[in-house]
């Protein structure tokens, strides 16, 4: 039997339908792979968790639901699109069982279209995290984020992370996160991502965004960087994770891009599976 890959998601009830699409795409493109899904949440109803578990059994995914009841990050800044659950990924070393040594964190607004195993097997080279940088044709945003968060490193997107959970237990401290929130709260545009970059960008290994965190809004930038290689055929053969950052989300019916069509295809296949 192949080694099971640990996945981490942190979300509320509203994102469960999109989580299902993401996990279905993962299964479809990793058919022989076993997964353990660690779901950290505050108040997802039991009936919703039962429905999720029924689906995941069809997908060779074992569900481990952990309800956070001690109000971690109760005073952390949140906005409508970013609920408190987003902070749980930073505290995964504290919240996950000791036998969990490594996880892949995935946002729910994602499709997995190729094998994820190479990410799981990646050498972190002593770092706590591996993540991608969504760099533009210029590096202006890096300079702005360095000034805003008082860092000198690249600004990492936290939507896809490989995490050394054992090392995170040593490095990631809640008191450090609390102090950062108190000090920079008014300047946190994407609160958990900003906190991660401020505190832990120096222990984050950069991985290819074109492969591991392909921002579907930015395909023209990717193509412009390398017109010969970054076409749709290259994406189909090499990209593993499509990330639907920002708006409009593909499930709203307003994302009529080439990638929105791919999302609708997986959504339709999932609907057929759930009806059987």
**In-domain check, residue 238:** no
Cα-based distances in Å from 173 to 73, 79, 92, 99, 203: 12, 23, 11, 19, 14
pLDDT bracket for residue 66 (50, 70, 90): very high
| Residue 213 falls inside a structural domain | no
Residue 203 lies in a domain: yes
Question: What is the model's pLDDT at position 154?
Answer: 82
8 Å CB contact between 41 and 85: yes
For helices 191-200 and 140-149, give the axis angle rounded to 10 degrees. Answer: 80
Closest of 154, 151, 147, 148 to residue 184, by C-alpha:
148
d(CA 62, CA 6): 10
pLDDT (mean) for 241-247? 93
Q: Distance between CA atoms of 197 and 206, rounded to whole angstroms?
A: 12
The DSSP-derived string for 62-96 is EEEEEE--S-TTTTS--BTTB-GGGGGGTTHHHHS
Q: Is the pLDDT of residue 139 over 60?
A: no
218 vs 92, more confident: 92
Are 124 and 164 in contact, with CB atoms under 8 Å apart?
yes
Q: How far apart are CA 183 and CA 185, in angstroms?
A: 6
Whether 70 is covered by a domain: the verdict is yes
Rounded to an integer, what is the distance from CA 72 to the centroid of its chain? 20
* The two structure tokens encoding residue 251: 């499930």
Q: Greatest CA span in the chain, whole angstroms?
A: 53
Residue among 57, 95, 117 at smallest CA distance from 172: 95
Please give the pLDDT value at position 112: 98
Say yes or no to pLDDT of 242 above 90.
yes
137 in any annotated domain: yes
Looking at the domain assignment, is residue 229 inside a domain?
A: no
Across 188-196, average pLDDT: 83
pLDDT of residue 19: 98
Compare 174 and 51 and report the one with higher pLDDT.
51
Distance (Å, whole) CA 131 – CA 129: 6
State what percent of residues in the chain have pLDDT above 70: 89
In a domain, 21, yes or no: yes
Q: What mean pLDDT value characterizes the chain?
A: 88
Q: What is the domain count for the chain? A: 1
Range of the structural domain that residue 111 is part of: 5-208
Q: Is the peptide bond before 174 cis (omega within 30 degrees of 0)?
A: no
Q: Between residues 146 and 20, which one has the greater pLDDT?
A: 20
Task: Please check whether residue 88 lies inside any domain of the structure.
Answer: yes
Q: What is the pLDDT of residue 137?
A: 41
Looking at residue 166, which CATH number applies to its domain? 3.90.550.10
Instruction: Indicate if the pLDDT at residue 158 is higher than 90.
Output: yes
Contact partners, residue 72, CB within 8 Å, separation at least 6:
87, 88, 91, 95, 174
């Amino acid at each position: 039997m192949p080694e099971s890959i640990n996945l981490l998601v942190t979300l509320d009830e509203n994102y469960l339908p999109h989580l299902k699409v993401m996990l279905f795409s993962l299964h479809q493109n990793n058919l022989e792979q076993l997964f353990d899904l660690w779901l950290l949440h505050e108040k997802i109803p039991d009936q919703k968790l039962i429905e999720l578990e029924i689906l995941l059994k069809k997908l060779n995914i074992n569900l481990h639901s952990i309800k956070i009841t001690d109000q971690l990050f109760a005073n952390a800044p949140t906005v409508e699109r970013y609920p408190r659950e987003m902070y749980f990924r930073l505290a995964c070393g504290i919240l996950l069982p000791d036998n969990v040594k490594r996880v892949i964190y995935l946002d729910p607004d994602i499709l997995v279209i190729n094998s994820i195993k190479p990410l799981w097997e990646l050498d972190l080279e002593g770092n706590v995290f591996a993540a991608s940088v969504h760099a533009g044709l210029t590096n202006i945003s890096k300079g702005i984020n360095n000034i805003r968060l008082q860092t000198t490193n690249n600004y990492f997107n936290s939507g896809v992370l490989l995490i050394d959970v054992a090392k995170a237990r040593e490095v990631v401290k809640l008191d450090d996160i609390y102090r950062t929130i108190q000090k920079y709260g008014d300047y946190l545009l994407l609160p958990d991502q900003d906190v991660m970059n401020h505190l832990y960008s120096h222990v984050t290994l950069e991985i290819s965004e074109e492969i591991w965190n392909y921002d579907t809004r930015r395909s023209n930038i990717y193509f412009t960087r390398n017109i010969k290689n970054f076409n749709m055929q290259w994406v189909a053969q090499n990209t593993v994770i499509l990330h639907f950052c920002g708006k409009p989300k593909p499930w709203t019916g307003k994302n009529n891009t080439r990638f929105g069509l791919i999302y609708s295809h997986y959504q339709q296949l999932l609907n057929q599976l759930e009806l059987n």
